[in-house]
Amino acid sequence: MVASKKIGFVGGGNMGEALIKGLLSSGRLQADQIRVSDVRQDRLRFLQDTYQVLTVPDNAELTREVDVIVIAVKPQQMADVVADISGNLEHLPLLISIAAGVPLAIIERGIGEPVPVVRVMPNTPALVLAGVSAIAGGTHANEDHLAIVRLLFEAVGQVVEVNEANMDAVTGLSGSGPAYVLLFIEALMDAGVLTGLSRQVARELAVHTTLGAAKLLAEGDAHPAALKDQITSPGGTTIHGLAVLERAGMRGMVMEAVAAATQRSMELGKK
Ligand SMILES: NC(=O)c1ccc[n+]([C@@H]2O[C@H](COP(=O)([O-])OP(=O)(O)OC[C@H]3O[C@@H](n4cnc5c(N)ncnc54)[C@H](OP(=O)(O)O)[C@@H]3O)[C@@H](O)[C@H]2O)c1
């Protein structure tokens, strides 16, 4: 489905590079199928040298050359990019935007042509091919377009399809989520140091405990509570630790954190 397509990235920063790296290492695309444009010449040189992808001097030229365009610039840079690519879309390429908080309707209005647009919210573990991305199709995007987007983003992790109305909640959970989990891991590490472990050993234990617990969940369909119950023996160590977390209101705090981030995403989207 993407074997014969040319994919263009407008913006070759962190996310653009993560996607290029993932697509090449998955074997789904060859380097000569990928084009990148960026205002930074140093980024273009780096991407060309590292991944042997083709670089294009400007966004309009890139738009004319490709079948799929991934807009991977900051939300505040979107208006410039939309202006650059508008007027170069006669061949109706598929447009993918990963800009956080920018609604499909704004992009479609800016483009002004019946181009299929899909909005994607990836997260930073995409950098190590362990991301999770939510996708939502715009007015002119059909099942074939969504299937292409799935193929592309599965190269850097998992993909779920949502209604665009849920994108703020996605941002609050999986977009911001790596930061919550990192904070928890840091707390585990400090706790290890407090109880006498070296920082290096505490880090190793905290990181792999988190990875392992997530893997237990990801590789089966057990409820987290069922897995937790398996390691919680009567009067044992784990239930004593859990009782402290419950008294401190950990579940409520996590829910409030996700709700606050979701609310903030809604506010930013209105600007
Ligand atoms: N990083 C994440 O975790 C993450 C997660 C989910 C979604 N996203 C979304 O992904 C998008 C990209 O994020 P990022 O972290 O990859 O940003 P980034 O590292 O700043 O990459 C964007 C690149 O595009 C360049 N650029 C700016 N204006 C341009 C223009 N008019 N034409 C072509 N290139 C232009 C930037 O150059 P300058 O540096 O000179 O501006 C930079 O090299 C954002 O919209 C963000 O909301 C990111």
Whether 271 has a pLDDT exceeding 80, the answer reads no
Amino acid residing at 10:
V
Q: What is the CATH number of the domain that holds 113?
A: 3.40.50.720
* 269: pLDDT strictly greater than 80: no
Q: Is residue 226 part of a domain?
A: yes
49 and 118 both lie in a single domain = yes
| pLDDT computed for residue 122 by the predictor | 94
Quick one: pLDDT at residue 214? 96
Last residue of a domain, one of 132, 167, 202: 167
Ligand 1 atom showing the smallest separation from residue 100 Cα: 47
pLDDT of residue 2: 77
Q: What is the CATH number for 221?
A: 1.10.3730.10
Tally of structural domains, the chain: 2
How confident is the model at residue 4, as a pLDDT? 85
Average pLDDT of span 25-37 = 93
Say if residue 148's pLDDT is above 90.
Answer: yes
Q: How confident is the model at residue 57 (pLDDT cuts 50, 70, 90)?
A: confident
- Average pLDDT, rounded, for the chain: 95
Same domain flag for 265 and 242: yes
How high is the pLDDT of residue 268? 81
Radius of gyration of the chain (CA): 21
Q: Provide the pLDDT for residue 210.
A: 97
Residue 62, sorted as left (phi over 0), alpha (psi -120 to 50) or beta, turns out to be alpha
Closest CA to 256 of 165, 164, 180: 180
Closest CA to 10 of 19, 1, 21: 19
If asked whether residues 196 and 158 sit together in one domain, one would say no
Q: Does a structural domain hold residue 219?
A: yes
In ligand 1, which atom is closest to the CA atom of 17?
Answer: 16
Tens of pLDDT along 179-216?
Answer: 999 999 999 999 999 999 999 999 999 999 999 999 99
Ligand 1 pocket test target in 19, 39, 55, 73 with most atoms within 8 Å of CB: 73
Residue 33 banded pLDDT, cuts 50, 70, 90: very high
Mean pLDDT of 81-91: 93
Query: For residues 68 and 111, what is the distance between their CA atoms, to the nearest angstrom?
Result: 15
Site residues for ligand 1, CB cut-off 6 Å:
10-16, 37-40, 43, 59, 72-75, 77, 80-81, 98-100, 121-124, 175
130 lies in the same domain as 45 = yes
* CA 94/CA 245 separation, integer angstroms: 47
Indicate whether 1 belongs to any domain.
Answer: no
Q: What is the mean pLDDT of residues 169-173?
A: 96
Q: Kindly state whether residue 2 falls inside one of the protein's structural domains.
A: no
Same domain? For 46 and 126 the reply is yes
Place of tokens 């409520």: 252
**DSSP H helical ranges for the chain:** 14-26, 41-51, 59-65, 78-85, 104-111, 143-153, 167-170, 177-194, 199-218, 224-230, 237-247, 250-270
Question: CB neighbours of 169 closer than 8 A, spacing ≥ 6?
Answer: 258, 262
Cα separation of 205 and 213, whole Å? Answer: 12
